[in-house]
C-alpha cells in the first residue's frame, strides 16, 4: 500500500488528542458535554482539503491499515506444524453474517495447494452408469445455485472441552466462516453419471496430498450439497479450495472437501482415516461415535468478549453475537448478563436462514458492574443449546469434536472480558 | 435418484484414469493391491521415511502423531489413540499411508513398501510377530483391538430430546461462581497482530 498522506504527523496528533478527550468524557456520563470545541471539527483536516487515492491505486483492495488486527490468527502449540493445521476467523471484530474471504479460517491437512482451472479435473466413478471426467469449464455450464451456509470445523471449541483455555472468541469459536456460494448441485452432477441402484454412498476426495477423503450418504449428496466455485461473489480463495470445493450444508467442515477431484459412488462407507482415526468422538466409556455429521445449534457473544472489551464506560452497550445450527434455521437466541440466573430474548438482525450464521443483538444500558455474559441458541427443531456441563454429562471430556456448549464471558467492571467457566 | 434429463457435459472416464485416482481400500479389503511386505523390511523403510516424525518405534517425536501404544487408554483421562489402540480397520492404515504419507512426499511409496510399513506399525503395536508378512492373503489375520469400539452417531436418541426442553428464563439459579479462568492458564497468543 503506497497511498500518500500529506501532513500525516499533524493530523494523527490531532486525532489522538481528540480521541483522548472523547474517552475521558464518556467515563463521566453517557451524554457528556464537550469540554471545548473539538479540533477534529473546528480545524480543517487534510482529508477535507487535499485529495485521496486515485481509482487506479488499488485494483484489488485490502482493508484500511487501521483494521490490521482483523486477521486470521493461529495458535502454535495446537498442532505439530503449520501445514496440517488450523487458523481462526476474527469473529470478535466482524458484524453481520457474511465472512470476508480474506480472513475466513483455514484448515489444511497438507497445506493450501495452487491448482489452476486449466489443470483441474473432476472425476465421477464407481457405481454409476457412465464414469465421467469434467473440466472446470464443463462445471460452469451446468445450471447454477446460490446459497449461504456456515462451514464450521468439527473441532471448533474443541480445546475448551476440559475447561476455559483460550482467551478470545476468535480462538474459542473462530473455526467458522459463512459465505454465499455459487455452484452446481451435486445432485445435478451425479445425475449426469447416473447412480446405480446399489449405490448408497459417495466418497469424495481432494486433489491435495492429504486427499481428505470422506464418505457421505447418498441421501445427503442428492439433497443440498453443492460443488461450489464462487464464494461471496468471486472465485474461491486458494486456501478455500480453488477452483472448486464441496459444500455440505450443516455438516462438519471436514466434509467440505476442497480442491475436489473425485466423487466415487460406493455401496458402503470407505471408513477413511478422516472418519475413523479423526472426526470420531470418544465418549467417557471409551466407545466412540462415528459419522457425527451434523453441527448442532450453537452461539457465541462476539462483543463484548476478551478481544473486544468495553472501552466506552457505562451507558448504552451493544451486545452482539452469532448463532447457527446444522439442523435448520435459528429461531431465537437468549442472552443472560448474570451467568444464567435470568435470560432475555435477543433481537435477530434478520430471520434465521437454514444452516447459516444468524446475527443477534441485545441493546442494554450497562451500569458498569461485572457481568457473566452467555448466549443460548434455539433452532427450528426445538433444540436448545446446552451448557458445557450438560454435554460433559453425556459425553465426558474426550470427544474433541462437536463442542457446542454455552460460552461464558466474565465482563469486569473495567470493561475487560475473560473466558471463564462458572458453576 | 429420480431420473432427470441429462445435460450432456463431461466425457467418459478412461479405465487408466480411474485406476490412477481410485485408490481407496474398503474395510472388507476391496481395492487391496498385489504385493507383500514383512516386518523387518518395514523397519528399514520406516526408518528411512517415517521415523524422523513418528519415531524409530512409531512412538512419535515431539507433537507428531504416535502410531503405536495406548492400549486400553480410551476410557481414561488422556486417551492415546494410535493405529493399535484406536483404528477399527487395517484397510484405513494401508489406504492412508499409500495415499498421503510420507508427509510432504505422498504417493511416492511402492505397494510393497506400504505393506512393509503397515506390517512394521502392527509389530510396533504388538499385534503381529516379527516374522509376519502382510499381503492380501494375511490382511485379515490381524485383529484390530478397537474394531468394536465405534457406534453410529446416537445424538438423536441420547441428546436431541434431552436438549429440547423449554429452557428456564427467570430465577434459574441461586449463585454463580467462577470455576475456571483462561487468563490463569495463559496459553493464548498475544492480542493484536499489528505489531
Mean pLDDT over the full length of chain B? 94
Residue A7, in any domain of the structure: no
Which chain A residues are Cβ-neighbours of B4 within 8 angstroms? Answer: 191
Residue A24, in any domain of the structure: no
Assess B195–A contact: CB distance below 8 Å, yes or no.
Answer: no
Query: In the predicted model, is pLDDT for residue B94 greater than 90?
Result: yes
Sequence-ordered alpha helix ranges (H) in A194-309: 218-221
Domain at A200, CATH number: 3.90.420.10
Residue A63, in any domain of the structure: no
Nearest CA in chain A to B108: A209
- Bond prior to B102 in cis (omega within 30° of 0): yes
Looking at chain B, the whole-number percentage of residues with pLDDT higher than 70 is 95
Tell me, what's the pLDDT at A31?
65
On whether the CB atoms of residues A358 and A326 are closer than 8 A, the answer is no
pLDDT-derived band at B195 (thresholds 50, 70, 90) equals very low
Q: Is the domain of A278 the same as that of A376?
A: no
Q: Is the domain of A121 the same as that of A268?
A: yes
Residue where a domain stops, chosen among A284, A308, A339? A284
Tens of pLDDT along A141-194? 999 999 999 999 999 999 999 999 999 999 999 999 999 999 999 999 999 999
Tell me, what's the pLDDT at A16?
40
Nearest-Cα distance to chain A for B143, in Å, is: 16
Q: Is the domain of A120 the same as that of A260?
A: yes
Tell me, what's the pLDDT at A404?
98
How far, rounded to the nearest angstrom, does the alpha carbon of residue A300 sit from its chain's CA centroid?
Answer: 11
- The CA distance from B26 to A272, in Å, is 8
pLDDT-derived band at A17 (thresholds 50, 70, 90) equals very low
pLDDT-derived band at B79 (thresholds 50, 70, 90) equals very high
Assess B20–A contact: CB distance below 8 Å, yes or no.
Answer: no
Tell me, what's the pLDDT at A27?
46
Which chain A residues are Cβ-neighbours of B89 within 8 angstroms? Answer: 271, 276
Q: Is the domain of A248 the same as that of A324?
A: no
Residue where a domain stops, chosen among A262, A284, A306? A284
Among A69, A167, A266, beta carbon nearest to B194: A69
Q: Is the domain of A130 the same as that of A241?
A: yes
Assess B156–A contact: CB distance below 8 Å, yes or no.
Answer: no
Tell me, what's the pLDDT at A80?
87
Query: In the predicted model, is pLDDT for residue A26 greater than 80?
Result: no
Residue where a domain stops, chosen among A232, A251, A284? A284
Among B4, B21, B87, beta carbon nearest to A276: B87
Give bridge partners of residue A250 from the DSSP assignment: none
Q: Is the domain of A195 the same as that of A307?
A: no
- Bond prior to B66 in cis (omega within 30° of 0): no
Distances (CA, A) of A176 to A69, A99, B173: 18, 9, 32
Query: In the predicted model, is pLDDT for residue B121 greater than 90?
Result: yes
Which chain A residues are Cβ-neighbours of B180 within 8 angstroms? Answer: 163-164, 420-421
- The CA distance from B8 to A143, in Å, is 12
Instruction: Please list, residue by residue across B19-43, b when 16 or more beta carbons sit within 10 angstroms of its beta carbon and e when fewer do.
Output: eebbbbbbbeeeebeeebbbbbbbb
Query: In the predicted model, is pLDDT for residue A220 greater than 60?
Result: yes
CB contact under 8 A, B149 and A385: no
Tell me, what's the pLDDT at B3?
52
Q: Is the domain of A111 the same as that of A253?
A: yes
Work out the average pLDDT over B19-32: 96
DSSP state of A154: T
pTM reported for the whole predicted model: 0.93
Tens of pLDDT along A233-252? 999 999 999 999 999 999 99
* Domain hosting residue A138, numbered range: 101-284
Top residue of A272, A299, A338 to mutate, by most chain B CBs within 10 Å, is A272
Residue A113, in any domain of the structure: yes
Looking at chain A, the whole-number percentage of residues with pLDDT higher than 70 is 93
Q: Is the domain of A133 the same as that of A217?
A: yes
Inter-chain CB pairs, A–B, below 8 Å:
267
Query: In the predicted model, is pLDDT for residue B1 greater than 60?
Result: no
Residue A398, in any domain of the structure: yes
Asked which of A132-146, A151-165, A258-272, B177-191 is least confident by mean pLDDT, the reply is: B177-191
pLDDT-derived band at A10 (thresholds 50, 70, 90) equals very low
Among B149, B160, B169, beta carbon nearest to A343: B169
Assess B176–A contact: CB distance below 8 Å, yes or no.
Answer: yes
Question: What HEC string does chain B produce?
Answer: CCCCCCCCCCEECCHHHHHHHCCCCCCCCCCCCCCEEEHHHHHHHHHHHCHHHHCCCCCCCCCCCCCCCCCCCCCCCCCCCCCCCCCCCHHHHHHHHHHHCCCCCCCCCCHHHHHHHHHHHHHHCCCCCCCCEEECCCHHHCCCCCCCCEEECCHHHHCCCHHHCCCCCCCCCCCCCEEEEHHHHCCCCCCCCCC
Q: Is the domain of A122 the same as that of A253?
A: yes
CB contact under 8 A, A123 and B21: yes
H-helix or E-strand spanning residue A26: helix A8-28
- The CA distance from A27 to A414, in Å, is 11
Q: Is the domain of A326 the same as that of A414?
A: yes
Q: Is the domain of A109 the same as that of A209?
A: yes
Query: In the predicted model, is pLDDT for residue A197 greater than 60?
Result: yes
CB contact under 8 A, A77 and B187: yes
Tell me, what's the pLDDT at B191?
54
Question: Percentages helix, strand, coil for chain A, rounded to the nearest 5?
Answer: 20, 30, 50
Q: Is the domain of A115 the same as that of A239?
A: yes
**Cα angle at A381 between A375 and A387, to 5 degrees?**
35
Nearest-Cα distance to chain B for A332, in Å, is: 12
Among A141, A165, A277, beta carbon nearest to B182: A165
**Cα angle at A13 between A7 and A17, to 5 degrees?**
150
Domain at A377, CATH number: 2.60.40.650
Query: In the predicted model, is pLDDT for residue A324 greater than 80?
Result: yes
Tens of pLDDT along B139-149? 999 999 999 99
Residue A67, in any domain of the structure: no
CB contact under 8 A, B75 and A141: no
CB contact under 8 A, A384 and B165: yes
- The CA distance from A373 to B40, in Å, is 59
Residue A148, in any domain of the structure: yes
Mean pLDDT over the full length of chain A? 93
Work out the average pLDDT over A1-29: 41
- The CA distance from A127 to A265, in Å, is 5
Query: In the predicted model, is pLDDT for residue A14 greater than 70?
Result: no
Pick the more confident residue, B2 or A164. Answer: A164
Tell me, what's the pLDDT at A32?
74
Residue A160, in any domain of the structure: yes
Which chain B residues are Cβ-neighbours of A419 within 8 angstroms? Answer: 181-183
CB contact under 8 A, A126 and B178: no
Q: How many domains is chain A built from? A: 2
CB contact under 8 A, A166 and B74: no
Query: In the predicted model, is pLDDT for residue A72 greater than 80?
Result: yes
Amino acid at each position: 500500500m503506497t497511498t500518500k498522506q500529506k501532513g500525516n504527523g499533524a493530523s494523527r496528533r490531532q486525532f489522538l488528542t481528540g480521541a483522548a478527550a472523547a474517552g475521558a468524557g464518556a467515563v463521566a456520563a453517557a451524554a457528556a458535554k464537550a469540554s471545548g470545541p473539538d479540533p477534529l471539527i473546528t480545524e480543517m483536516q487534510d482529508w477535507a482539503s487535499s485529495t485521496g487515492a486515485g481509482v487506479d491505486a488499488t485494483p484489488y483492495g485490502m482493508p484500511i491499515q487501521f483494521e490490521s488486527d482483523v486477521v486470521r490468527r493461529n495458535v502454535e502449540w495446537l498442532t505439530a506444524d503449520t501445514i496440517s493445521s488450523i487458523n481462526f476467523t476474527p469473529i470478535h471484530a466482524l458484524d453481520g453474517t457474511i465472512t470476508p474471504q480474506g480472513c475466513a479460517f483455514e484448515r489444511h491437512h497438507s497445506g493450501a495447494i495452487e491448482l489452476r482451472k486449466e489443470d483441474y479435473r473432476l472425476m465421477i466413478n464407481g457405481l454409476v452408469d457412465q464414469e465421467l471426467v469434467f473440466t472446470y469449464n464443463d462445471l460452469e455450464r451446468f445450471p447454477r445455485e446460490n446459497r449461504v451456509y456456515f462451514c464450521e470445523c468439527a473441532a471448533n471449541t474443541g480445546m475448551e472441552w476440559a475447561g476455559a483455555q483460550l482467551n478470545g472468541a476468535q480462538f474459542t469459536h473462530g473455526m467458522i466462516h459463512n459465505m454465499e456460494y455459487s455452484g452446481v448441485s451435486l445432485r445435478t452432477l451425479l445425475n449426469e453419471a447416473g447412480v446405480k441402484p446399489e449405490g448408497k454412498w459417495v466418497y469424495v476426495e481432494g486433489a491435495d496430498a492429504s486427499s481428505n477423503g470422506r464418505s457421505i450418504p447418498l441421501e445427503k449428496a442428492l439433497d443440498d450439497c453443492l460443488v461450489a466455485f464462487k464464494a461471496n461473489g468471486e472465485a474461491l480463495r486458494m486456501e478455500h479450495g480453488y477452483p472448486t470445493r464441496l459444500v455440505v450444508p450443516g455438516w462438519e467442515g471436514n466434509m467440505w472437501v476442497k480442491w475436489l477431484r473425485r466423487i466415487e459412488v460406493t455401496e458402503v462407507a470407505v471408513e477413511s482415516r478422516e472418519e475413523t482415526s479423526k472426526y470420531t468422538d470418544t465418549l467417557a466409556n471409551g466407545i466412540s461415535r462415528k459419522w457425527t455429521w451434523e453441527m448442532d445449534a450453537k452461539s457465541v457473544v462476539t462483543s463484548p468478549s476478551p478481544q473486544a472489551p468495553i472501552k466506552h464506560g457505562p451507558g448504552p452497550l451493544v451486545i452482539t453475537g452469532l448463532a447457527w445450527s446444522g439442523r435448520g434455521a435459528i429461531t431465537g437466541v437468549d442472552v443472560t448478563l448474570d451467568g444464567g440466573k435470568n435470560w432475555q430474548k435477543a433481537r435477530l438482525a434478520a430471520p434465521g436462514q437454514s444452516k447459516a450464521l444468524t446475527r443477534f443483538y441485545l441493546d442494554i444500558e450497562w451500569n458498569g458492574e461485572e457481568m457473566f455474559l452467555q448466549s443460548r441458541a434455539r433452532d427450528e427443531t426445538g433444540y436448545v443449546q446446552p451448557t458445557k456441563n450438560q454435554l460433559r454429562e453425556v459425553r465426558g471430556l474426550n470427544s474433541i469434536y462437536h463442542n457446542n456448549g454455552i460460552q461464558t464471558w466474565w465482563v469486569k467492571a473495567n470493561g475487560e472480558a475473560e473466558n471463564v467457566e462458572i458453576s | 435418484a429420480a431420473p432427470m434429463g441429462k445435460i450432456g457435459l463431461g466425457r467418459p472416464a478412461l479405465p487408466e484414469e480411474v485406476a490412477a485416482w481410485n485408490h481407496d481400500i474398503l474395510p472388507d479389503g476391496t481395492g487391496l493391491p498385489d504385493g507383500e511386505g514383512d516386518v523387518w523390511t518395514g523397519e528399514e523403510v520406516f526408518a528411512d521415511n517415517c521415523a524422523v516424525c513418528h519415531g524409530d518405534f512409531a512412538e512419535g517425536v515431539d507433537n507428531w502423531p504416535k502410531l503405536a501404544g495406548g492400549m486400553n487408554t480410551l476410557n481414561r483421562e488422556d486417551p492415546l489413540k494410535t493405529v493399535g489402540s484406536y483404528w477399527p480397520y487395517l484397510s484405513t492404515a494401508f489406504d492412508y499411508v499409500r495415499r498421503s504419507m510420507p508427509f510432504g512426499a505422498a504417493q511416492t511409496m511402492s505397494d510393497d513398501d506400504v505393506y512393509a510399513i503397515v506390517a512394521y506399525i502392527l509389530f510396533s503395536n504388538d499385534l503381529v510377530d516379527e516374522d509376519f508378512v502382510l499381503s492380501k492373503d494375511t490382511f485379515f489375520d490381524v485383529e484390530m483391538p478397537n474394531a468394536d469400539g465405534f457406534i453410529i452417531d446416537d445424538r438423536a436418541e441420547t441428546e436431541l430430546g434431552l436438549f429440547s426442553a423449554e429452557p428456564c428464563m427467570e430465577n434459574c439459579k441461586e449463585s454463580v461462581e467462577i470455576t475456571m479462568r483462561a487468563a490463569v492458564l495463559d496459553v493464548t497468543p498475544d492480542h493484536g497482530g499489528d505489531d
